[in-house]
Structure 1
Amino acid sequence: MIFDCLLTADAAWLGGRELAGPTAIGVREGEIGWIGPLPAAPDATHREHIEGVLLPGLIDYHVHAALIQPEKLLAAGVTTVMDLGWAPAEIWPLVERARHDPGLPRIHAAGPFLTAPGGYPSRQPWAPPLVAIEVDDPAAARRAVEALVAHRPATIKITLNSQAGPVVDDATLHAIVRAADAHGIPVTAHTQGSGQTRRAQLAGVRVLAHTPWTEILDDRLIADLARDTTIISTIDIHGWGEPSPDREIALQNLRRFHSAGGVVRYGTDLGNGPLPLGVNTREIAALTEAGLSPTEVLDAITGAPLRPGAPADVSVVPGDPIANPAVLGQAGAVLKGGQNVTDSDGGG
């Protein structure tokens, strides 16, 4: 088999606690078709040697893409983002554009938030029209989910922020989760306020958009969450590099969750406050402070190692991220679907 392109480098992370040596990746039709040691590399129409360490494309699991310049994220090595809530008139066209524009990262999205009447964020001064769908009973919840399904959302986002307004009752919350489950769509919750994380867990929510920061979670809840829930970190929104009580509570919760075996994903909440547009090395440092090893940080920010059958999305860093996770913020070459976007007009 002859591949469209053969990417080679002196090192790559293919999973595990050490880098692989000289590595080649065979790309065909935008996907990884082969990966292995350089001496065994297959034939290809084009060969490209890249200086640095090959990594899977980086992922930010919590952004608001319409509020930032997503092309700059791609240039920084973030090849995929999860948009966790925005107005449909803005986010769905952006998702579609990203499917065809090599200068944008892949964008998966939730669409508008689901919330109680008058609930967060529908009354926030920054919220555009229709950023939230207000549901007041299980029937309305089911209708809202069905309306979102037509847009193929990656997740359904529910806000349980009792500090900023009313929240849906238990019956409505359970109806949202059941309706989403019927379509194989996970539910992501913003939990804020006493008892809201437990409510989400009991309803079957399986992703938390933020590490909970408004209360210290009890040991039983930590154990329950660790069994079947993913937490997206977003530690740096609390203080933006400065110590704060909310940051300390979030770190304590994340540290205990990770210690109990819970799955942690890197996410920044880009669009919310003065966060760096790229890989946030303060967020990386917070993950290590919460107890993640360098390889666990790599898992958190990539989702999975490079492997055949995956999109040929590659971020290249100048040093060993296992020895120094901070190099994740120093991407050089970036490839999306096998195309070196740092050499294109759209890649920065």
Structure 2
Amino acid sequence: MRMVFRWFGEGNDHISLRDVKQIPGVEGIVWSLHDVPAGDEWSLKQIQDVKQQATDHGLHIEVVESVNVHEDIKLGLSTRDRYIENYIKTIEKLASVGVKVICYNFMPIFDWLRTDLAKELEDGSTALFYEGSKIHDIDPMELVKQISENSEMTMPGWEPERLADLTKLFEAYRGVTEEDLMNNLQYFLEKIIPVAEEHDIKMAIHPDDPPWSVFGLPRIVTNKENLQRILKLVDSPSNGLTLCSGSLGSNPSNNVAEMVREFADRIPFAHIRNVRIYENGDFIETSHRTEDGSIDITDVVTAYHENNFTGYARPDHGRHIWDEKCRPGYGLYDRALGIMYMWGIWDTLEKAKREA
């Protein structure tokens, strides 16, 4: 297991690379060019700048999260080939500086959805929270209208400046089925996977978060059966998974450790975090500790160890603790604690293996 840490870049992240370097066992950053719009070709100069920043602190940039997929590709519009060509050029540039894994997602409109960015837990920390009653059976167009008319009504990802675009996108997705979306993903993969193979890049699709339909939008990266199908769309080692325990695990029907054991050879990148699921299906993110949530993180890490996992792993979202002012879900302190929890499990398993 090769530990990495998500970093949003100078000027975008309160965490410094000096901070990251001090977390035991972390060897690289998970990064992106967040100012580049989805569909645009990435600049080699900007890519090289990030590499130099990481190298100056003894860190690598072998994992990118994410090279975002333009909505026209997901929708299967006639304009998609132009955006796919830009995606291919970006893959080639990333390979030239040593990138090995590109994480991406195929979620329509939202790449994740929560209803509260700072829900308080019993210990006084706060975390990302999903309240189903604010999502289920609600017409998104009505919600856009309500937010437009009420400046005090807010929801993450529904900022006033984004409402016009949301309206257009919801209209574009009317009538798009899960089968349509799966076909559009296959078209995309058929174009990019041969390029990824040529450049020794692993494409790693991220699960939908949460792993079910929201606002009537199709979602296809949701369960074991769909993961099996996606890997067969283009059956190549370069067509892989970013297995996210928190995204998939927010549906109690998904056994994350079982998925790790089944798909181990097609997981170049692991996101490891815990969530607590309530009886009504709402969920909140917790510490990584197994006892604090609904996912058996100990078994998840054990599943990776049993399969001699040599891919990259990172702590995913963390709580906001010790009064840290940070990007929601991406503080330094709780994610660093999560890393040490994972290393504790891993090192114990390694010792038992040596002594067996």
TM-score, with length taken from structure 1: 0.49
Bigger relative contact order (CA 8 A; separation at least 6): 1
TM-score, with length taken from structure 2: 0.48
Higher normalized helix content (fraction of residues): 2
